[in-house]
Amino acid sequence: MKLKGIDKFREKTPGYPGNKVALLLLRGFVAAILAYLFLILFDILPRLLPGIYFLFLLEPILPVVGSFIIGTIAIRMVASMWTRREQMKAEYGNLAYQKMIPKGFTGVMIIPSVILHAFTSIRSLPPGSPVNDLTTQFSQSLLPLLGITGQVDIWIRLIFSAFFVIVGLLVIRSSVLTFGIDYMTVVYLYFPEESEVQEHEIYSIVRHPVYMGAVILGGAAVFFRCSVYSIIFCLIVYLIFKIHIRTEEGELIERFGNGYAEYRKKVPALYVHPRNLKSFIKFLNPKLR
């Protein structure tokens, strides 16, 4: 099946003809893997260097700091598509988008490493147990505090996390199929004169369905681990998208004026009102449209 909008994307990236476009994907995957490895290394640094006392003291906050560092790098790379647009267009003209998309796409691909980190059991990482008891406590399920233990704890976390993983992936899948690769890769940020106003029903429910899908995946991690760390990591994911939305919507307000500002007041950015659940479910299943 040919993805919607792929021809427009290829038209605007002539430097990646044919299968060469796979280089963008490869670059993104490598960056994501390296980012996740950095997060793991940051987590276990005190275990690798157990004799350093200040690492013992810092161990409980290192996973949070690592996620914040990677999240900041990702959001700066993605935001550069917006903040450097005019400079790059002045310098490269119609090739500005092609010059910037590798950086922006790499930033997007790094974000899942933060989400995957939220699914990770910090206390179970090799080469051994955490050196600070707080690290272990922050990585443990909070459900036993409610009297839920053993297999019940595990099954509750698995069932709820699986549900949110499926919903998050379906939201992202439906968004790509509905709006196309060209819109997902912000081709029209650099070629606004070629864009069309999107009037799909989902935009009357939530302003940023793809970002919401990613946040839902972060929420799945909360249920999967149900730990202090997973909650904090999910909040970092949420913060990443909230910060980026401010950058993106600044450009949209500049392009569409008060109309978009009013729309923003009426429609939530990253969640769906219960009254719109029926329309939301229809969006997830193309057969119901």
- Residue 247 pLDDT: 84
Mean per-residue pLDDT of the chain? 90
Q: How confident is the model at residue 194 (pLDDT cuts 50, 70, 90)?
A: confident
Least confident of 17-21, 120-124, 162-166: 17-21
Alpha-carbon span 112 to 169, nearest angstrom = 12
Q: Taking the CA of residue 120 as centre, how many other CA atoms within 13 Å lie in the half-sphere pointing to its CB?
A: 22
Lowest-pLDDT range of 167-176, 189-198, 219-228: 189-198
CB atoms within 10 A of CB 285: 10
Structure confidence at residue 117 (pLDDT) = 95
- What are the helix (H) ranges across the chain? 6-12, 22-48, 53-58, 62-83, 85-92, 96-119, 133-139, 150-179, 181-184, 187-190, 209-225, 228-256, 258-266, 277-284
Rounded CA-CA distance 47/92 in Å is 48
Are the beta carbons of 288 and 282 closer than 8 angstroms?
Answer: yes
> What pLDDT shows up at residue 198?
65
Task: Note the pLDDT of residue 53.
Answer: 92
**pTM score above 0.85:** yes
194 within a domain of the structure (yes/no): yes
State mean pLDDT over 53-65.
95
Q: Does residue 22 sit within a domain?
A: yes
CA distance readout (Å), 283 to 1, 33, 274? 20, 31, 15
pLDDT of residue 283: 87
Is 274 a member of any domain?
Answer: yes
| pLDDT band at residue 234 using 50, 70 and 90 as cut-offs | very high
In a domain, 225, yes or no: yes
DSSP state of 2: P
Number of domains in the chain: 1
Please give the pLDDT value at position 18.
Answer: 83
Question: Who has greater pLDDT, 238 or 251?
Answer: 238
Per the CB < 8 A criterion, the answer to whether 130 and 47 are in contact is yes
Give me the domain span that covers residue 60.
6-288
Q: Locate 166 and state its tokens.
A: 């499926």
Q: Which of 131-140, 184-193, 248-257 has the lowest mean pLDDT?
A: 248-257
Q: Residues 127-154: pLDDT tens digits? A: 999 999 999 999 999 999 989 988 999 9
3-class DSSP assignment, residue 3:
coil
Per the model's pLDDT, the better-predicted residue between 285 and 287 turns out to be 285
Give the C-alpha separation, 220 to 202, whole Å: 22
| pLDDT in the model for residue 251 | 78
Report if residue 132 sits inside a domain.
Answer: yes
Q: Does residue 141 sit within a domain? A: yes
Q: Is residue 1 one of the residues assigned to a domain?
A: no
Alpha helix (H) ranges present in 180-208? 181-184, 187-190
| Mean pLDDT calculated for residue range 80-94 | 93
